[in-house]
A and B are shown apart, each in its own frame.
Chain A
Amino acid sequence: MQRKLPLMIVLVIGIAMLIQFFIPHKFSKDLYMNFLDWLGIIAAFALVLGLGSLINHHLDKIQRKRENWQYSWVTLIAIVITAIIGLFGGMEGKGPLPVQPQFILGNKLIVIKYSIQTIYDNVMTPLGGTMFALLAFFMASAAYRAFRARTFEATLLLVAAFIVMIGVVPIGYYISPKLPHLAQWIMDVPNTASKRGILFGVGLGIAATSLKIILGIERNWLGGK
């Protein structure tokens, strides 16, 4: 029953939603809206489950002193601090949290608000930007080491990459006014053709997998063995 009930729900609702799409009746539309409401409620529960799972995972890691367990403290402390500031300071720092530290820098008064926006501006943004910026260095190093014209295919890739990389920056136009157009042609024709092929494959794969889930052939989502 534990496995059959979810499978039955998926089968009935999956088929109902398939049919609903083609019936432009009020009942059908209301049903669809109700399901959208349910989706929101389920997502809220998933958020709670996710948070619980994250905390459990890191507590377990600390208890068993697994590799890099010290960093789990960073995660847990960050969760607690963010939650306190979020719950009592809010997005804008207008909550009941007490004194907001302030100091003068030059001739400007700096007020540190206990708000999610403060954490976001001063922690999330610089950390995220730094992580992505590192990519430029690794990409340059990898391109230098791996991008070799060893075979015909590799040479083709190399030439296309050259044209696109120069063609998509303004300086390419000054090297040759034809370069941006050539780069655009590569994007419009060979790139689009290959992307479309991939999209067809992905689309068919999604349809097949969805059908397998609805019909109960694919059961990995149930978890367990």
Chain B
Amino acid sequence: MKFWEYLLKIDRRVVFLVVGLSVLIPLIFPFYIKTNVMPTTQKLFDTIEEIDPGAQGILIAADYDPQTMPELQPMFIVLLRHSFARRIPVLVMSSYMQGIGLAKQGLDQVAEEFNSRAKTNADSIIYGRDYVFLGFPPLWLAAVLRMGSDISQAFPADYYKNRTASLEMMKRIKNYNDIGIVVSIAGSGIPQSWVTYANTRFGVKVGSGATAVMAPDFYPFLQTGQMSGMIAGLKGASEYEYLVNTKYNLPGPTPATKGMGSQSIAHLTILLLVVIGNIGYFASRRRR
């Protein structure tokens, strides 16, 4: 087989091996690459910075499942860390049955991280006072619409079977008027539905955390202002980690930033494969 033909017919297993190594090696031997913050990430960060913790809370919707967890869970974690660092009351829900397990993992992890540093009760992150986990509504659309008038009616009981209305935090967070922003983290088009039903109808600000594949779908909403910022892909999560850790000087996990080396090398490898394929294609066409 001639060299040019070989470039066109690299065995699939070789491609798999090269891609696998390009992901794996930077994870085993990590290196740090400083991220440049994109405007969409900065906008979401600024919107959350503008929330008055005494007046409004944040609703984080973990609208994803384990399939997209590696890309989206770091967003959930960093948004929680940002909210807890600012002492913004946090509501968490999930439109996916499979998302509640991940949301619980994230909540437990971040609450434990903050509580391990807390010296007083006021510093601690306490369930019911600082955050509430609403769980999964059987019919998402009905819950989203109902939350416009009363969140406790949409979720009569929280994830732990407490009466939602009886929780301390819920005495001041009644409906979307008391929510500074809803951030939907999803690997699907759900953030768009939040815009349709929560932003357009009730005027609550909506932001999104999207997989890199889904992010292009939300640019029209960012441009019109119907979405107040977006974390796009693992890179967006890394940018957000940088913003939060720089502003609040928080020690702690930065899973997205750790993944940046791996993602950079994997992207370059795929591009290199495309270049090799095209060199082979043009060279063999010229020879014919």
Contacts and interface: CB of A to CB of B under 8 A. Distances in A.
A33 interface: yes
B105 A121 contact: yes
A179 B213 CA distance: 19
Contact of B66 (A47, A124, A191): A124
Interface string A184-197: 10011001100110
Contacts of A149: 278, 281-282
Given A141-B12, A180-B38, A192-B219, A171 B142 contact: no
B277 interface: yes
B142 A40 contact: yes
Interface stretch (A3-11, A158-166, A209-217): A158-166
Contacts, number: 147
Given A39-B141, A170-B264, A195-B219, A136 B19 contact: yes
Contacts of A158: 274, 278
Interface stretch (A53-61, A65-73, A125-133): A125-133
Contact of B223 (A40, A144, A168, A192): A192
Interface residues of A, number: 55
Interface in A94-150: 116-117, 120-121, 124-129, 131-133, 136-137, 139-141, 143-145, 147-150
A191 B219 contact: yes
A81 interface: no
A44 interface: yes
B145 A36 contact: yes
A47 B97 CA distance: 12
Interface in B208-227: 212, 215-217, 219-220, 223
B245 interface: no
Interface residues on B, range: 35 or more
A205 B269 CA distance: 40
A169 interface: yes
B101 A117 contact: yes
A125 B66 CA distance: 5
Given A39-B141, A148-B278, A140 B66 contact: no
Nearest to A119: B101
B36 A137 contact: no
A136 B262 CA distance: 12
Interface in A1-60: 29, 33, 36-37, 39-40, 43-44, 47
Given A129-B69, A132-B67, A143 B101 contact: no
Given A140-B15, A188-B223, A39 B277 contact: no
Nearest to A168: B235
Contacts of B38: 180, 184
Nearest to A146: B277
Nearest to A174: B33
Interface string B230-256: 001101001000000000000000000
Interface string B57-92: 000000001111110000000000000000000000
A136 B273 CA distance: 13
B25 interface: no
Given A121-B101, A169-B267, A171-B268, A196 B220 contact: yes
B216 A187 contact: yes
Contact of B10 (A37, A44, A144): A144
B66 A127 contact: yes
Contacts of A47: 138
Contact of A137 (B19, B220, B223): B19
Nearest to B265: A171
Nearest to B140: A43
15 contacts: A33-B149, A120-B98, A120-B101, A124-B66, A125-B102, A128-B69, A137-B20, A147-B278, A162-B271, A166-B267, A168-B235, A169-B264, A180-B38, A191-B216, A196-B220
Which are the 10 A-B pairs with shortest beta-carbon distances? A128-B66, A120-B101, A171-B264, A43-B139, A170-B33, A144-B273, A132-B67, A128-B67, A125-B66, A169-B264
Interface of A: 29, 33, 36-37, 39-40, 43-44, 47, 91, 116-117, 120-121, 124-129, 131-133, 136-137, 139-141, 143-145, 147-150, 158, 162, 165-166, 168-171, 173-174, 177, 180, 184, 187-188, 191-192, 195-196, 199
